[in-house]
A and B are shown apart, each in its own frame.
Chain A
């Protein structure tokens, strides 16, 4: 019975600062043990939503439930959540052990119990040799572990991570990313993780919640979002390099096929979208950089090469259509077309996203 109660539920949550709405009717359900990433650009409301979940900010409307209990108006400590702050928020005057054991100390737990649990958490994070050090004697990565340790030791119902990797250098970031994922597998608690970095989201999340301007744009597993974005924003926000967005005009739209003209000379034939578009309409299509192949035959688009970047395992080619629109290609392996040369690009029709006037993906298929 208890298995059916989700770890977290938000219903119609809204919040405004003065006249500006930062969260607009947020609905979200998170199952127990899930690792959910809130992803979006700066100012999309993801950090605000996390602070509201923690109880650090009040909400204007709606409700929160944690494991079935309404915590909308509960004090932060009563929600049984632990948060890892972007700045880590370690207490500079306390050593690592005191930082990790702070919550138990103020709850007046016996010293032996505090020491035991602090050591257990430190062992999980491999920082047991640092317990007597002050934060200023720690590296960025070590501080980050201490902050996580402070969360682990409480064994909360939900872990909240607010962009915890943004202060680390690139190498340490990818290393810590893997460690947090491992930690999640090991302890199994529900985790909500805020980031603007789509690589973190794609690699860590069970499900990603893409947000923009206070609204949830789409929720789903990483590949589900990548392969089947609901709209133009989700399509461009996920993927690096970003999806190519190209203007195309509809030449034919019937129950059999959708024929598009791309640039002056390119023509693409796609599966039908049931006449949702009319001939002559100018629309936008999305093509992932890795959806191109170089070849000849039907459904080709001619381009001119602007710049080639050799990455060893793949080649990134920046090129232009004959009407000046730019494209980025990711071609597996090593090829080296001369700058200024022409290429014929082939694109698998089923991998092309078609966006209507309202930026919705006309080929989006909602899962039931």
Chain B
């Protein structure tokens, strides 16, 4: 009994801080989203679902949502496609596995803002590394591409984003693959399985729990994506790079010029929360499998 009380006592400070600084504000978001409120001062006008109606008719919101979903699905496709490809290659018994894993993971130890700045330099139309390299290898037509033009900037940012995140998920997947007993692969070798068959029939099913958690982590990251596209857009983020997170921030606090529409911003936050919850529930349900023992 004393032991139980002690546990409660020790957990209390953390629970209070978590509840006070996270749970209460999260729940308040639903409440504030029903008001027209600058976020400062006492003046809050109850407007019911007007913020949501406005969102529905706001083209910038739809652009932000589209960009967020593009990061989630297109970015996710490439992040996991590459992470899986590298996992297969690096766990096929090649030399230097740890070295390559480190190289792929390195972007994750550097500040996102610094990485975004580096990529902005790489994409620089005149002096950037990408176009200079393309010219050097004779692809002069491609080298004329303005990577940061309104048409291209989102996809240029997404490519850089994939580069940043692939290493992180590669680490997760490789840790999962290392857990698979080698004799499962040896048994498959004796049966004549190809690299692809071993991946499809052994690695994927035996990696299922790691994959499921990786997908969820990616979804949460993608839906709340903020820092990288924001830093990539420098001081005045173009609308082509808006994600839900960026749009929320800008509506709440503005960029160079203040906007201060916190009621509207919280409505965006509520939409993000709902999307996150729905997607997590769907993905968890789709990926649910019985626990494997090996």
Contact = CB atoms under 8 A, between A and B. Distances in A.
**A and B form one complex:** yes
Interface of A: 54-56, 75-78, 81-83, 85, 87, 89, 91-94, 102-103, 106-107, 134-136, 150, 154
A94 B197 CA distance: 14
A136 B293 contact: yes
B191 A102 contact: yes
Contacts of B205: 91, 93-94
24 contacts: A55-B189, A55-B190, A56-B189, A75-B189, A75-B192, A76-B189, A85-B183, A89-B181, A89-B184, A91-B187, A91-B202, A92-B293, A93-B205, A93-B206, A93-B289, A94-B205, A102-B187, A102-B191, A103-B191, A106-B193, A106-B197, A107-B192, A134-B290, A135-B293
B81 to A, nearest CB: 22
B93 to A, nearest CB: 12
B186 A93 contact: no
Contacts of A103: 190-192
Contact of B206 (A76, A82, A83, A92): A92
B201 interface: yes
Contacts, number: 72
B270 to A, nearest CB: 39
B293 A83 contact: no
B40 interface: no
B189 to A, nearest CB: 5
A315 B193 CA distance: 55
B201 A106 contact: yes
B244 to A, nearest CB: 37
B9 to A, nearest CB: 40
Interface in B257-294: 289-290, 292-294
A136 B289 CA distance: 14
Interface of B: 181, 183-184, 186-194, 197, 201-202, 205-206, 208, 289-290, 292-294
Contacts of A135: 293
A77 B206 contact: no
Contacts of B202: 91
B190 A93 contact: no
Contacts of B193: 77, 106
B183 A106 contact: no
A160 to B, nearest CB: 9
Contacts of A102: 187-188, 191, 201
B190 A77 contact: yes
Nearest to A57: B186
A167 to B, nearest CB: 13
A148 B187 CA distance: 12
Given A89-B181, A106-B191, A106-B193, A56 B294 contact: no
Query: Which of A54, A81, A94, A103 counts the most chain B CB atoms within 10 A?
Result: A103
Nearest to B200: A106
Pairs A-B, 9 closest by C-beta atoms: A77-B192, A103-B191, A89-B183, A93-B205, A89-B187, A92-B292, A76-B189, A136-B293, A92-B294
Nearest to A134: B290
Contacts of B184: 89, 91
Contacts of B189: 55-56, 75-77
A77 B191 contact: yes
A106 B186 contact: no
A97 to B, nearest CB: 14
A85 B187 contact: yes
A322 B2 CA distance: 67
B191 A56 contact: no
Given A85-B187, A102-B191, 7 more contacts: A75-B189, A77-B189, A77-B191, A77-B192, A83-B186, A93-B206, A106-B201
A81 B187 CA distance: 11
Nearest to B193: A106
Contacts of B186: 54, 56, 76, 83, 85, 89
Contact of A54 (B190, B194, B201): B190
A272 B203 CA distance: 66
Contacts of A77: 189-193
B293 to A, nearest CB: 5
A309 to B, nearest CB: 40
Nearest to B293: A136
Contacts of B201: 91, 102, 106
Nearest to A160: B190
Query: Which of B191, B193, B194, B292 counts the most chain A CB atoms within 10 A?
Result: B191
Contacts of A154: 191
A140 to B, nearest CB: 13
A209 to B, nearest CB: 22
A106 B200 CA distance: 11
Contacts of A150: 187
Contact of B187 (A75, A83, A134, A136): A83
B181 A87 contact: yes
Contacts of A92: 206, 292-294
Contacts of A54: 186, 190
Contacts of A75: 189, 192
Contacts of A93: 205-206, 208, 289, 292
B202 to A, nearest CB: 7
Nearest to B292: A92
Given A92-B292, A92-B294, A87 B192 contact: no
Contacts of B194: 106
A56 B206 CA distance: 21
Contacts of A56: 186, 189-190
Contacts of A55: 189-190
Contact of A106 (B192, B289, B290): B192
A364 B187 CA distance: 42
A232 B127 CA distance: 80
Query: Which of B187, B192, B294 counts the most chain A CB atoms within 10 A?
Result: B187
